[in-house]
Structure 1
């Protein structure tokens, strides 16, 4: 007979007894005593197993002492209460107790909440379940994440916008959690979702939105740009209570950030730029749409399909999310934005320029013309220089080129390659330090009209041929660009290996269209010569007469 549980045994005994089987027959069938048969006939459920008394431990004599310490902590200053380590040390030092730390830790972990409840000082708060209507509400928050950016471990900020009904969330990683990132995160999320929630969006008291909290009420003094932003998109803001007490009021986005960080930022992602990381974040958002939240019967995307048509449409006019600054360019051709410095072309030294600061980059304008664009620095007190901005000054001062900070940053970024260095060394050897460096700067000026890849390839070709002038590099770079643009095919590797330099006038003649015109003739002019001779002979005859 297969092994049966006690509930199954009782059910079988009751069934046989109702069928007319005698108790003694049931005893023999199931190999049980008459007491078991009688208990099964009298009750459907077996009697619960009697709990054995707890085994005595070495901590038992000291439990009352521990309880006294925990009771005394109820009225003690918050920073001067007993820790588990302190309780353990007191038991050993003051009472010579032969107990282990793990034994004390288990008892305190179980007993401390009980003492709080018994004393009436335990914070007991009731939470009321909420039902969210589709397309009505959303929650927003920032969370810090650590990434390895270009080989360096840095802390960035994860923006999360989560719809309350479907749980559909959109994320974005920024270098800061300032107002620019706050606005750009909203714009990206609303465009991705395709609309704006019709009712309130829950926020905590972010400085990007709230200028001042008015007491313990929900009244806030909002920042002017935030008022204009949410008015543009039709967002109705709702601010949670300050501190930890209000965290549960937007618990959906709090939990969403924790889930996203644990599942997609563990292990620490390694990327070369925030743009590369945000491409991964977009893919992770699409992947998370296929999961179910808790015990819900459908996926996030399935709920979102119901919610999306109910969102308010987006406004047609764009909103400038960047912050405007008008710094003056110093004598180092740099501008100060927040706590960092960025380079601009040297022709702007002494002038004021207009800077639009975004969450991940900044753009510099001179009379509405873009003159510089930089990726925003994460650390404070940094400096980002573009070598191209200093070329007009360096061509007049070539001696300053080898030690230029912009040159070192260009090397680190991979824009000044080993091919540049090799060509520079050969030019200096052939023409001298000043002329060789000036020739390199002329080559760098070509980058404004020739792509970086073609210019590096032209440098390599000119270096093989020993052509150490900017004109030769420009010619080789254009030849490579034209060869790539031809639809007939790619140049062979053997032809690429043989570096040839063509003089500019020969190259121009070779590219002229064929001349099909006939050769010039002077036959018509010979007729004029005969007339002149004839007229001259008549004149001489007249003189003779």
Structure 2
């Protein structure tokens, strides 16, 4: 998958930046034109079946081979290990059933890597003069990305979050967003938000640490093994990733964003922000980013906004379609109608118990799909072990087990969120008082099922009207709810506002007038409707039956 993604990314890069033709791309990369068109249409290659990768025996003896090659660094040149000698020692000393060709390839690749690492250590021991060399960044060419820790008082609780920052190197214009994690979905969503705010993408490169969201493995030097989804994302937006050296050696390579994260946090996030949701906090950060256009970076003559005005036209335009940053997963629904996603639990409709569902996980939301149909949507949970349940998902189970409702977690969460309102409580109390606990609870559940097909305001109005009339029937609630829907959706014929000084008495209901057939026909002719050509009703056939019956009685 990785090599195909890299191929597709390279094809899309040449097609977007170098304007190469389909035939030219096919000749350059030695592939069919159909493959080039697939890469142009989508940065993600179509899936293909591949056999499971076998665990190589070589993986178990890598350490032994590295030790032999490390000994060669200090051994005489003519007494160093050859690939054949390494193979012989593995068979004799480690009893490894490994192929000679694999050993030879590994020795050929690994020997220069170990030599370069030893040379770097020797240079460090010799001492290198510390300091910094001034750099210049052309407009629109480069940007830097980093995550920084951040504490937020979220819904009254101190919560550790992460501040995503993308900063243009030339102007210093930055975009900040707060996420609950540093996962790949948050990493990609932060990029998309930044590109859309800036109106484009740097045409040269973006500098990164070795984040797990992008890098699977750090190889020799600046070579990295990147994740397939990250390669597809870069191919979609058409930019190059520059990875800094690990540790302190590479900290200075993106010093602009390193310093900006701390400065922005001290300026706009002190004291600790208190918000109900991260969306609210991100709206604040968007306003803070806009306000920094008047800021002047030390040593620069222009403000951030003035420099960005020069840089913005040089950014590469965004593609027509937005990259889907949600992570696609599958989960199994347990017997409690819950799924486990990233060590948090979410409810789904009870009819899906025992099945597998598809999950689209974004940085702030979780959506559950049964096939192509969306069946549940939850805000993404933050703390490990949290659980979010929707009472509506358990109503079919509760119809058969009404005694489970009072102590259910779903009911407790609905009450805490205000979704189980005082009107529901009043109806439940009245129903249990009239029919008993079990029957009264079933009546409440039937009322809760009305929320699936009627607006919430209409159902609550129907509950209040039914309770006021002394009824605890779900049918009565449905009738009153439909009346409320009709009344609120009609501009004439009903009045929802009482007269001045009069007490509010609810909707004023109008009596339905009796319409005769003749009146309907006259109204139809006046309104221009098609004429009713049906014959007038007659009882002639019934009169014939009556005459036949009278004749039989006389004959008898």
Residue 298 of structure 1, aligned match among 290, 294, 302: 302
CA shift for structure 1 position 466: 2.5
Q: Is contact 1:464-1:499 (8 Å) kept?
A: no
Shift of 1:526: 8.5
Matched-pair contact (CA < 8 Å) for 2:498–2:505: no
Q: Which residue of 1 aligns with 2:102?
A: none
Equivalent residue, structure 2, for 1:241: 245
Mapped contact 2:496–2:506 kept (Cα < 8 A): no
Q: Which of the numbers 490, 505, 530 marks the counterpart of 1:498?
A: 505
Aligned residues of 1:465 and 1:499 also touching (Cα < 8 A): no
Residue of structure 2 in register with 1:461 after alignment: 465
Q: Find the counterpart in structure 2 of residue 167 from structure 1.
A: 172
Q: Distance in 1 between matches of 2:354 and 2:540?
A: 71
RMSD: 3.4
Quote how far apart the aligned CAs of 1:280 are.
1.8
Tell me which residue corresponds to 1:24.
none
Give the CA deviation at 1:154: 0.8
Q: How far 1:353 sits from its partner (Å)?
A: 0.9
1:263 aligns with 2:270: no
Rounded Cα–Cα distance in structure 1 between residues aligned with 2:382 and 2:291: 29
Q: Structure 1 residue 233: deviation in Å?
A: 1.1
Mapped pair 1:416 → 2:410? no
Shift, 1:344, TM fit: 0.8
Question: How far has the Cα of 1:196 moved from its partner?
Answer: 0.9
Distance 2:515 2:292 in 1: 61
**1:153 pairs with one of 153, 158, 169:** 158
Aligned to 2:13: none
Q: Which moved more, 1:479-488 or 1:333-342?
A: 479-488
- Show the counterpart of 1:387: 391
Give the Cα separation in 1 of the matches to 2:278 and 2:513.
46
| Structure 1 match to 2:512 | 510
Secondary structure of 2:497's match?
Answer: coil
- Tell me the equivalent position of 1:17: none
Q: Does the CA-based 8 Å contact 1:465-1:501 persist in structure 2? A: no
Q: TM-score, normalised by structure 2?
A: 0.67
- Is contact 1:200-1:236 (8 Å) kept? yes
1:476 is aligned to 2:480:
yes
Mapped to 2, the partners of 1:525 and 1:462 lie a distance apart of 43
The answer to whether the Cα contact below 8 Å between 2:201 and 2:317 also exists between their aligned partners in 1 is yes
**Closer, same or farther: CA 416–525 of 1 in aligned 2, 3 Å:** closer
Provide Cα deviations, 1:308-340, integer angstroms capped at 9, x if missing partner: 111111122332212222221111111111211
Q: Deviations over 1:505-530 (max 9, x none)?
A: xx9x8398786248999998799989
CA shift for structure 1 position 452:
2.6
Residue 345 (structure 1) aligns with: 349
**Equivalent residue number for residue 99 of structure 1:** none
What SS is found at the alignment partner of 1:289?
Answer: helix
Compute the displacement of 1:203 (Å): 0.4
What residue is the counterpart of 1:543 in the other structure? none
Q: Give the conservation status (yes or no) of the 8 Å contact 2:497–2:504.
A: no
Unaligned runs of 5+ residues in structure 1 are: 1-119, 538-545
Distance 1:377 1:472, change over 3 A: same
Q: 1:177 aligns with which of 166, 178, 182?
A: 182
Alignment partners' CA distance in 1, 2:281 and 2:425: 32
Give me the whole-angstrom Cα distance separating, in 2, the residues matched to 1:268 and 1:168: 24
Instruction: Select 2:285's aligned residue among 281, 284, 287.
Output: 281
Distance (Å, rounded) in 2 between the aligned partners of 1:213 and 1:288: 36
Unaligned residue ranges in structure 2 (runs of 5+): 1-124, 523-533, 552-556
Aligned to 2:233: 229
For residues 179 and 523 of structure 1, the distance between their equivalents in structure 2, rounded to whole angstroms, comes to 74
What SS is found at the alignment partner of 1:258? helix
When residues 175 and 523 of structure 1 are mapped into structure 2, their CA distance, relative to the original with a 3 A threshold, is closer
Matched ranges for 1:350-365 at <5 A:
350-365=354-369
Aligned residue pairs, count: 410
Deviation at 1:483, TM superposition (A): 3.6
SS of the equivalent of 1:422 reads: helix
Which residue pairs with 1:325 in the alignment? 329
Q: Structure 1 CA distance, aligned partners of 2:443 and 2:289?
A: 50
Measure the CA separation in 2 of the matches of 1:513 and 1:293: 80
Specify the alignment match of 1:142 in structure 2: 147
**Aligned equivalents of 1:353 and 1:150: distance in 2?**
30
Quickly say closer, same or farther: Cα 1:390–1:513, change in 2 above 3 A. Answer: farther
| Contact preservation (8 Å) 1:483, 1:491 | no
Deviation string, structure 1 residues 337-394 (Cα, Å, up to 9, x no partner)? 1211111111111111111111111111111111111111101122111111111111
Per-residue deviation, residues 471-491 of structure 1 (Å, max 9, x unmatched): 232333333334433446753
- Check whether the contact 1:157–1:176 (CA below 8 A) recurs between aligned residues: yes
Work out the CA distance in 2 between the residues paired with 1:250 and 1:349.
Answer: 49
